[in-house]
């Protein structure tokens, strides 16, 4: 099964959500290697993208030109959204995604992200500006609404489709819920009924069971996974196999898993630089160790180590403990 976006095919319809500080270029590349249908860059403010110096990490981070990557933009001014979209396309972006779902206070207080659900006319101005600026598909990610009294995602979806948006992803919560409670996948069905473009369900999808239930309740065309992939970059490909018959990924174990973790760690050091990379990598190493059930003392030692070479030497011990417990 696949999703077609103005001639761009995304298959399988199991996508990686943008997560600030997590789904960076090294992690997206790793998830893509296992077989995700689409990965979305971390959100970048349109004004910041246009005014960033050439060659800075902020631009390199976006993965311009990667075949299955969407570049996600946020903003409140049509001019800067259009300029950023035009720049992204010019540098090789295959899909431009508009963020109207981020609930963070600093984003909402800047009248971006999910704050735009309180003013659909302004939201449509931004959408029309982006669609008019590029020839690549434009997608939209948003929430069910601002709060329980303003569940206007179906209306936004209809208007976005009329403006030329090729796909919409709905996180099954309102902005005021942030990430509390449970995602309401059934509420996404109203969005699916309102449009003919593909609709993607997002929120609380962490394995094949929850993905299957989200699809059944929402009627969506695919799923987008965020936090569930932390420490399990192969998860999306496994879900795609279980739900859509995609090729079963070679899930790494033993020395292969050790090599993958080491390669991911080295990729972060190379991308961010030694000191920043070592700090950024800690959360990913923590998730890998959580999945392995690593002894707390070893976990603490690895996450507090200041020398990256020491971390690399200790990675096989994580897997040895996992191997001993599984025996």
Place of tokens 């500006």: 129
Rounded CA gap, 139 and 165, in Å? Answer: 5
- DSSP H stretches of helix in the chain: 25-34, 46-51, 57-60, 78-90, 105-108, 120-133, 153-163, 189-194, 208-218, 235-244, 254-272, 274-292, 296-304, 308-326
- Paired sense of beta strands 44-45 and 69-74, if any: parallel
Q: By the 8 A CB rule, do 148 and 174 touch? A: yes
Cis peptide before 12 (omega within 30 of 0): yes
Rounded CA gap, 285 and 26, in Å? Answer: 13
The torsion region of residue 159 among left (phi > 0), alpha (psi -120 to 50) and beta comes to alpha
> Does 102 qualify as catalytic in the annotation?
yes
φ and ψ at residue 46, rounded to 5 degrees: -60, -45
**Alpha-carbon separation of residue 216 from 99, 140, 222, 223, 234 (angstroms):** 25, 22, 10, 11, 23
User: Which residue, 288, 293, 291, is CA-closest to 311?
Assistant: 288
C-beta atoms surrounding 186 within 10 Å: 14
User: Which residue, 189, 210, 164, 224, is CA-closest to 39?
Assistant: 224
φ and ψ at residue 77, rounded to 5 degrees: -115, 130
User: Counting beta carbons within 10 angstroms of the beta carbon of residue 214, is it exposed (0 to 12), middle (13 to 18) or buried (19 or more)?
Assistant: buried
Q: Which two tokens stand for residue 186?
A: 């059934």
User: Which residue, 143, 205, 132, is CA-closest to 168?
Assistant: 143
Active-site annotation, residues = 102
């Amino acid at each position: 099964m696949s999703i077609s976006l103005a001639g761009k095919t995304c298959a399988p319809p199991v996508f990686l959500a943008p997560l600030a500080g997590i789904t960076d270029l090294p992690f997206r590349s790793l998830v893509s290697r296992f077989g995700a249908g689409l990965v979305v860059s971390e959100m970048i403010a349109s004004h910041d993208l246009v005014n960033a110096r050439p060659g800075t990490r902020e631009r390199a981070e976006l993965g311009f030109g990667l075949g299955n990557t969407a570049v996600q933009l946020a903003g409140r001014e049509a001019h800067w959204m259009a300029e950023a979209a035009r720049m992204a396309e010019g540098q090789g972006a295959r899909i431009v995604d508009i963020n109207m779902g981020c609930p963070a206070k600093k984003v909402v207080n800047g009248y971006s992200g999910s704050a735009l659900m309180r003013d659909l006319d302004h939201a449509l101005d931004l959408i029309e500006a982006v669609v008019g600026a590029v020839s690549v598909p434009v997608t939209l990610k948003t929430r069910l609404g601002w709060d329980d009294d303003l569940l206007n995602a179906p209306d936004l979806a209809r208007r976005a489709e009329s403006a030329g948006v090729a796909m919409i992803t709905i996180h099954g919560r309102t902005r005021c819920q942030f990430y509390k409670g449970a995602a309401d996948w059934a509420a996404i069905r109203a969005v699916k009924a309102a449009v003919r473009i593909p609709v993607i369900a997002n929120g609380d999808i962490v394995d094949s069971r929850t993905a299957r239930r989200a699809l059944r309740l929402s009627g969506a065309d695919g799923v987008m996974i965020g936090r569930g992939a932390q420490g399990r970059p192969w998860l999306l490909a496994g879900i795609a196999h279980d739900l859509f018959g995609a090729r079963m990924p070679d899930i790494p174990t033993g020395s292969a898993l050790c090599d993958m973790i080491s390669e991911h760690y080295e990729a972060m050091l190379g991308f961010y630089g030694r000191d920043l990379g070592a700090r950024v990598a800690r959360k990913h190493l923590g998730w890998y160790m959580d999945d392995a059930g690593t002894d707390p003392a070893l976990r603490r030692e690895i996450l507090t180590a200041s020398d990256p070479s020491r971390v690399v030497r200790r990675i096989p011990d994580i897997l040895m403990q996992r191997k001993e417990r599984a025996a």
